[in-house]
Amino acid sequence: MWPFPTPYPTLTPQQLRAEYDYVIVGGGTGGCVLARRLAEDRNGTVLVIERGDARDIWLDRFPLPSTHYWSDRKHSMVLEADMLGQKTDIISGKGLGGTSRINSMQYSRGTSGEYNAWAQAGRKGWSYSELLPYFERTECLYNPATNAHYGTEGAIIRSSQKAGFTYGKDVNDPKLPTSGCFLTHHTIDSSGTRHSTFRAFLPKEFALAHSRNLHLCVNTVARKIEMEPLADGNLRATGVVVQSATPGAASVFVKARREVILCSGALRTPQVLMLSGIGPEKHLRDIGVPVVHILEGVGSNLQDHLGPHVDLQCPLEHSLYLLVRRPWYLLYQLLRYFIFGDGWFLTSLVEVCILTCARWLDADSGQKPLTEEDKDPSRPENIPDLEIIAWQSPKYDRKRGGFSMVAALLRPFSRGTLRLRSSDPLEQPIVNLNCLSDTRDRTTMRTGVRLCMRIVREMEKDGYPVGYFKAPQSLDDDALDAFIAGNSRSCLHYSSTCRMAPRDDPEPGVVDDELRVHGFTNLRIADASMFPQVPAAHLQAPVAVVAEKCADMIKATWRA
């Protein structure tokens, strides 16, 4: 009761029960969804192990200040990775809600052809029509389009239309062609608050009401999964060894009566598996981890969306740096947010996007006329391989307004790796994104940069006062390759390090169609690491759907 509100209910490792029905390792984007669905059945006990905290103050709720690039970094986990021959920072979320706490709140399902491609590859139960009920279950759309655009976005919409792209107000409309300029959806609720999966699925009211069968252990890491052999040659996960996320902390074993589910994301789930002796045999032996179960696909096939940034000038009035340059305007926008629930603090960094396939662009980077087959979004052949976005990042000359136009490669052929640095769960893994190692990706990326420059030219023709901070000197292949190598960044969409595919697939799989780790009866994965290929979308919507489907599969198993 005010002024002493009930705190969010969390536990330390030493306060945990000896056993639970379900142990979820990772309380991020997917982990919160899965925990909610399993805890709704009060006959089962659920434990969530989360590396970060359960903080939920105003900084975590404001859409703009909670975004990684504008935040206090409290909920950002920064790792170092090899990318294009140099070291770079890669970011994922930390704390209940994971990356959905710090991302740009983009909500995109991906095209129906995306999931139909999974089904055509043999993944039973994973077509778009079979996943649609799970998308609908997670969604509550109260406003299909934002109306608070900067002048920059309006200019981009007009310029993309002049380049031949149709305009659509709903990027998630499964009937629209996959090529066009779209307004994006954001995970912001009707009160103007960032709606991470933490706030959407595990609010304090739910956690308190289910405190007997749902326990949330924060600031804690999983050291390894314990397992036992079965008579049929398979393995059974018996539980998880956990410890406080403090060097030298004592460890505690927690038994799992039914299942262990990994939801730690594409950068942490393979680390937990390898620490447990599950993974590539040679690497585990080299690092000194006893080999328990050989799975060559663990930590392989790492994918991400890479994007070169064309950095541009715009009027200060269209840039978030106006908040820095004019403190009175910052105060004005704060008042608008608190009193009216609108204004710049409600915004995402991205408001519109252009999606297309490189093969649909003409010699001047304009949209070719599409055939009826091209317009069919259910065909895997029509999955977009490029996304152009304009976003506001805090890295420009503060005396001028600025924005970046990013050409994100959505269907990369290149594959990276994640490997252990040591057997210490608190030490960062070794990440090699291996971007653009496949020459096909370089060709598509050049096409994307040319499309960015076509849009900029149309903005100039239309009278928009755009200028240049950093752009390619010419559009020939060599100049574009040099520009891409020096100005590309990760879009923070890591996936596929424990992909759903057969164990003997050319790109070895780690989980089956029921999300069970190959060779185990009760160890599953429900996060972005299981994607067969990185989806041509922002990943929080697909991850939430995977967790929803995983919950139903688990319930069906134990009902039987």
Q: Note if 215 is an active site residue.
A: no
pLDDT of the residue at 61: 85
State the Cα–Cα distance between residues 79 and 70, nearest whole angstrom: 18
Query: How is residue 405 written in tokens?
Result: 């136009």
Mean pLDDT computed over 364-390: 95
Cis peptide bond upstream of 3, omega within 30: yes
Cβ contacts of 168 within 8 Å, gap of 6 or more: 176, 180, 181, 182, 183
The least confident of 43-47, 61-65, 108-112, 150-154 is: 150-154
Helix H segments across 220-305? Answer: 269-275, 281-287
Q: Which of 412, 425, 429 has its CA nearest to residue 495?
A: 412
Is residue 141 exposed (0-12), middle (13-18) or buried (19+ Cβ within 10 Å)?
A: exposed
pLDDT at 254: 98
Residue 4 has pLDDT above 70, yes or no: no
Q: How far apart are CA 260 and CA 267, in angstroms?
A: 18
Report how far residue 134's alpha carbon sits from residue 170's, in angstroms, rounded to the nearest whole number.
19
529: three-class secondary structure by DSSP:
helix
The active-site residue out of 185, 186, 195, 493 is 493
pLDDT of amino acid 395: 59
Identify the pLDDT of residue 151: 60
pLDDT band at residue 336, thresholds of 50, 70 and 90? confident
Burial class (CB in 10 A: 0-12, 13-18, 19+), 314: buried
Coil, strand or helix at 512: coil
Residue by residue, DSSP assigns 412-446 as ----BEEE-SSS-TTSPPEEE--TT-SHHHHHHHH
Task: Based on the residue annotation, tell me whether 318 is a catalytic residue of this protein.
Answer: no
Task: Provide DSSP, 455-478.
Answer: HHHHHHHTT---EEEE--S-SSHH
Answer whether residue 261 shows pLDDT above 70.
yes
Between residues 391 and 21, the one the model is more confident about = 21
Mean per-residue pLDDT for 272-287?
97
pLDDT at position 145 over 50: no
Distances (CA, A) of 386 to 173, 305, 330, 483: 18, 10, 35, 17
Domains in the chain: ranges and CATH: 13-559 (3.50.50.60)
% residues pLDDT > 90 (the chain): 71
The residues, any chain, with a CB within 8 Å of residue 111's CB and separated by 6 or more, are: 174, 178, 377, 378, 382, 383, 384, 536, 537
Q: Report pLDDT digits (tens) over 467-479.
A: 888 999 999 999 9
User: Is 99 annotated as contributing to ligand binding?
Assistant: yes
Strands 220-229 and 19-25, bridge-based pairing: unpaired
d(CA 516, CA 295): 13
**Over 90: is that where the pLDDT of 144 sits?**
no
pLDDT score of 1:
44
Per-residue model confidence (pLDDT) at position 317: 80
- pLDDT band for position 257 (50/70/90)? very high
Is residue 494 over pLDDT 80?
A: yes
Tokens of 53: 């905290």
The pLDDT of residue 397? 63
pLDDT score, position 398 = 61
> Which of 420, 180, 448, 415 is CA-nearest to residue 309?
448
Q: Looking at residues 112-139, what average pLDDT do you find?
A: 96
pLDDT, tens digit, 9 for 90 and up, residues 412-421: 999 999 999 9
Distance CA(106)–CA(540), nearest Å, equals 8
Q: Which of the following is catalytic: 75, 215, 518, 538?
A: 538
User: Quick one: CA dihedral 499, 409, 182, 75, positive or negative?
Assistant: positive
The residue with greater pLDDT, 327 or 239, is: 239
> How many other C-beta atoms can be found within 10 angstroms of the C-beta atom of residue 475?
14
Residue 373 has pLDDT above 90, yes or no: yes
Each residue of 217-244: pLDDT tens digit?
A: 999 999 999 999 999 999 999 999 999 9
525 φ/ψ sector (left φ>0, alpha ψ -120 to 50, else beta): beta
Beta pairing partners, 262? 25, 525
Greater model confidence, 364 or 67 = 364
Percent of the chain residues topping a pLDDT of 70: 96
- Apex 447 CA angle, 105 and 153, nearest 5: 40
pLDDT band (50, 70, 90) for residue 362: very high
For the segment 383-406, what is each residue's pLDDT rounded down to a tens digit?
Answer: 999 999 988 765 556 677 888 899
Give the pairing type, strands 19-25 and 251-262: parallel
- 513 has a pLDDT exceeding 60: yes
- The pLDDT mean for the chain works out to 91
Is the predicted pLDDT of residue 147 greater than 60, yes or no? no
Q: What is the mean pLDDT of residues 53-72?
A: 85
Please tell me the distance from the alpha carbon of residue 26 to that of residue 49, in angstroms, as a whole number.
5
Find all residues with CB under 8 Å of 62, minimum gap 6, and list them. 193, 194, 337, 345
Strands 214-217 and 46-49: what pairing? parallel
